[in-house]
Structure 1
Amino acid sequence: MIRLLIGILFILASAYDSAGQIRYFRTPTLPLKTDTTLAFLAVAEDSIANDTLFQMRSKEGFPVAYFRKIRTSVCFDNKCRLLKVTLFWNPTGRYLGYDLVKGEFLSKAEHKPFTLAEYERMSDVLADQFSPLATLAYAEIAPPKKPISKEEEVDGVSSATAKNVLDYVVEGAAYTTYKMWHVVYGPTQASVVALTEKSLSPEYVLALLESPDGSDKIWALNHSQGFVTSTPALQQKLVTFINGTNYNLTERAINALDTGPNSATWQAMLADNLTTKSYALQKLIVNKLKRVTSLDAQAKKSLAEGLKSPNSELVSTILDVFRQHNVADTETCRPIADLLISQNQFIAQKAFAYLEKLDLSDADIKAKLAQYAQRK
């Protein structure tokens, strides 16, 4: 059943299947079928009786999803109802979906079954990792009230749900919502992430970077350095995220680039962005080039072109890059010498300080240095 489920969850976003089973799913990370399912011991800090976390893997050995069968009481006002649901996570710990065994359903006060809209609402609520439910205590879901009669049912929610909570729960099922949300974002989520990290490889990170979900891409970029060995294919893929349309992705991709001996695969491509992108991106690029072990010749040429920028802070940072890498060739020093006539005295002085320490033979550069020294 689980193998069949994972095969169709990538087709259906949210629906009843042909057998009448209730299941709702979000956008998956990897459009791969499950080949094997492994069982792991889940953390016992969330009071859920079933302590097994299942990992579903593709034939490539990539984790594609996780699930845990939840059997727990939802209690309030000394009354409890059993919640039986299977929760799913994607490989990066993002909420993926839920399903119920055939014949099972979620219910509200007075045991009323959820409507179709309420099942969809539950999935939307569970997908919100930044929900205020994270800061609320179980007792804060409903305001204090006088003792209830035996005829009153609990949805947990016989007590009226606090008004400020209604925007974050399924109305009439506040305690069920609260319980499910905290399981999704509790210790099990951390276990999911830890298991995925153990399975990381350059090929798997490349697959994760193809996810249609932006948060998955961010997660993969954050795990592209320090978790896997860098490869030319991975480095080239990282450069594709440096386009200026999404600053967060761009910033994470730049940080993930390897600054070691293989950095020449991306340096020139990155430096070419200096004249076309925003200053915020230019600053990220220049600071990254400052940290490489060896500056590529084409990247150096592009940086020299960047000295023509009217942005004095960018020009100053480029000079810092050249100083960091002990750049002293004539071709690069000529545009630096052109800065000696800059109206910005700080830039002119910085260019002079840079050049006067070098053993230069170019007559034109020497003449410009002499002229600047006379004007000082």
Structure 2
Amino acid sequence: MMINLPGFLKSDAMRNGIKVGIVYFLIFWIGGSCYAQDVQTSNKTVPAFHFKVNDSVEVDVDLIYKEDGYPVIYTAHLETGVCSDGLCKPISLTVSWDLLGQFIAYHTADLYSLTKFDHIEFTDEDHKQLHRILSDTAAILRDYEVNDMIDTAGYLRSQQIDAVTRPTSLTFSAATVEGALYTVYTLWHFTNGAIRAKIKAHTKSFMSDDAVVKNMLASDNRDYVGFVFKHITEEQHSRLGSDIVKLVGSSDMYIPHWALAQLKDSVLFLPNIQQQLLVYFPAADNALKNALLDRLASVPMNANTMVMLLSSLPNLQEHYVTKALNIIESNKPRIDERIREKLEILSRSQDRAMAKQARNILLKIN
């Protein structure tokens, strides 16, 4: 049986093979070698939406799920011409984005490699440059038409055919790959254009799924966490209180403060939530220590939580000691014998300010 090889290479079967290959590569790259085997046997691809790139080009965007059942990557295969002078080949590649439409990577099959002027293939350095450009959502390419980036005073003569073209203006040379302006421009506007909003909208559509939301919160990805906090419901705030509290222990500069702001008083009132928060208190930086104490001061504190807080005082600066003891004093109705004993110990501390404040609280409750 004869096989029409060129026809097969341009067929849907070949394109789907490329798509599956890039999915395996990307999840291996993102998640690490520890999951390579599971990905190949357990990941699934589902259609997400259809996207019209322009009047003549449309793509199908798919959503890739990891073996644990959570969505992780959007992909789309793009085939289009990129110039009109015959000096560059059309592009055929698969692009991937994260759940919020941030470009991750692109992949080309060997037979469809990216080329520059005169069909010269991209070098490794060209690919690195293109990846950097596509990752920059604020690239200068955003604000100009491609024809505005051409040097109208210069010419380049092709060595392949009897034709000439115009070079890229030096003003924009750092914003493209030399000899591939049309390719770079086309790809940047595809990966960073209206398709990003469509991806975000699609991700938003499954924000009602608590399992997906919990997974995005646990990612420690600042953008994912911010997106979740923007879109979860009041009921989810209550159901996912413990998951939100865990973010207070994040090493990110912003996530712990966002998490604190998301904790409603009805959730923060719960003893287990208060105690979870105080687990992170000793290692917190000064700004977070302040924020934690301010937030805990706004709700009645459970006796067990007060015991935890008092246990941390000997290692605190005076400013935080004062704040913490003010919280204890404001919760006088819940002070029990264990708390009295700790206050007695603190009242004999060599730290005079702490000892004085502890004695004052004891006088008020006796």
Flag whether TM exceeds 0.5 (same fold).
yes
1:40 paired residue number: 49
Do the aligned partners of 1:295 and 1:325 also contact (CA within 8 Å) in 2?
A: yes
What amino acid maps onto 1:93 in structure 2?
A: G
Task: Give the percent of matched residue pairs that are identical in Structure 1 and Structure 2.
Answer: 17
C-alpha separation between the residues in 2 aligned to 1:244 and 1:63? Answer: 22
What amino acid maps onto 2:139 in structure 1?
A: P
Do the aligned partners of 2:49 and 2:60 also contact (CA within 8 Å) in 1?
A: yes
Please say if 1:27 is aligned against 2:30. yes
Which structure carries more helix by proportion?
A: 2
Please say if 1:289 is aligned against 2:293. no
2:145 paired residue number: 138
Do the aligned partners of 1:57 and 1:63 also contact (CA within 8 Å) in 2?
A: yes
Number of aligned residues: 334
C-alpha separation between the residues in 2 aligned to 1:174 and 1:325? Answer: 67
Give the counterpart of 2:131 among 102, 106, 123.
123
1:95 paired residue number: 103
C-alpha separation between the residues in 2 aligned to 1:77 and 1:316? Answer: 74
SS in 1 for 2:257: helix
2:177 paired residue number: 170
C-alpha separation between the residues in 2 aligned to 1:37 and 1:277? Answer: 42
Aligned-residue CA RMSD in angstroms?
A: 4.7
1:12 paired residue number: 25
1:70 paired residue number: 78
2:10 paired residue number: none
Residue by residue over 1:170-201, the C-alpha shift from the partner in whole angstroms, topping out at 9 and shown as x without a partner, is 22223322331232222211211221121132
Alignment of 1:97-246 (within 5 A): 97-100=105-108, 103-126=111-134, 128-129=135-136, 132-133=139-140, 136-139=143-146, 142=149, 144-146=151-153, 148=155, 153-154=164-165, 158-162=166-170, 165-166=173-174, 168-200=175-207, 201-209=209-217, 211=219, 217-225=221-229, 226-227=231-232, 229-230=236-237, 235-243=241-249, 245-246=251-252
SS in 2 for 1:103: helix
1:50 paired residue number: 57
C-alpha separation between the residues in 1 aligned to 2:298 and 2:47? Answer: 42
C-alpha separation between the residues in 1 aligned to 2:71 and 2:23? Answer: 14
Displacement, 1:41?
Answer: 3.8
Do the aligned partners of 1:26 and 1:97 also contact (CA within 8 Å) in 2?
A: no
Residue by residue over 1:21-69, the C-alpha shift from the partner in whole angstroms, topping out at 9 and shown as x without a partner, is xxxx952699755434224243x6x646434442325487643322234
C-alpha separation between the residues in 2 aligned to 1:172 and 1:95? Answer: 23
Do the aligned partners of 2:130 and 2:176 also contact (CA within 8 Å) in 1?
A: yes
Displacement, 1:280?
Answer: 1.9
Please give the TM-score of this superposition, normalised by the length of structure 1. 0.66
Do the aligned partners of 2:116 and 2:179 also contact (CA within 8 Å) in 1?
A: yes
Cα pair distance change 1:164/1:344, threshold 3 Å: farther
C-alpha separation between the residues in 2 aligned to 1:26 and 1:307? Answer: 45
Cα pair distance change 1:54/1:145, threshold 3 Å: closer
SS in 2 for 1:199: coil
Do the aligned partners of 1:241 and 1:253 also contact (CA within 8 Å) in 2?
A: yes
C-alpha separation between the residues in 1 aligned to 2:164 and 2:333? Answer: 78
Residue by residue over 1:55-84, the C-alpha shift from the partner in whole angstroms, topping out at 9 and shown as x without a partner, is 325487643322234345545999997444
Do the aligned partners of 1:244 and 1:281 also contact (CA within 8 Å) in 2?
A: no
Please give the TM-score of this superposition, normalised by the length of structure 2. 0.68
Cα pair distance change 1:119/1:191, threshold 3 Å: same
